[in-house]
Amino acid sequence: MSAIVNSKENLVMYVCICHGVTDTQIEVAVDNGAHTMRQLNRELKIGSQCGKCCQCSKRVLNSKLMQIAEAEPSAA
Ligand code: FES
């Protein structure tokens, strides 16, 4: 009998099917400075073909930006 591993580290979600881009690739691009959809489009071609990935990409982008903001010490 095999166990189901339900760890986020082991899951990869394809966000952009047209260009084969995963959520992990988007997160890495955000870590490397792509902080807007336009920048993600330039880096990974997100949304440049059918455009169906734009909403999901934006959710991944915003989630990663929130993680980065929460990890940074507050400026106050
Ligand atoms: S799924 Fe991303 S451009 Fe088509």
Residue boundaries of the structural domains of the chain? 11-65
- Residue 24 CB contacts under 8 Å (≥ 6 apart), including other chains: 12
Please give the residue that has the higher pLDDT: either 3 or 16. 16
Q: Which fold has domain 11-65?
A: Arc Repressor Mutant, subunit A (1.10.10)
CA 57 to ligand 1: nearest atom? 2
pTM greater than 0.85 (yes/no): no
State the pLDDT at residue 24.
Answer: 96
State the pLDDT at residue 2.
Answer: 38
pLDDT of 6-64, one tens digit each? 455 678 899 999 999 999 999 999 999 999 999 999 999 999 999 999 999 999 999 99
Pocket of ligand 1 (CB under 6 A): 16-19, 46-53
Rounded Cα distance, 17 and 1, in Å: 33
State the pLDDT at residue 9.
Answer: 63
> Ligand 1 centroid to 36 CA: how many Å?
17
> Ligand 1 centroid to 26 CA: how many Å?
13
How many CA atoms does the CB half-sphere of 76 hold within 13 Å? 1
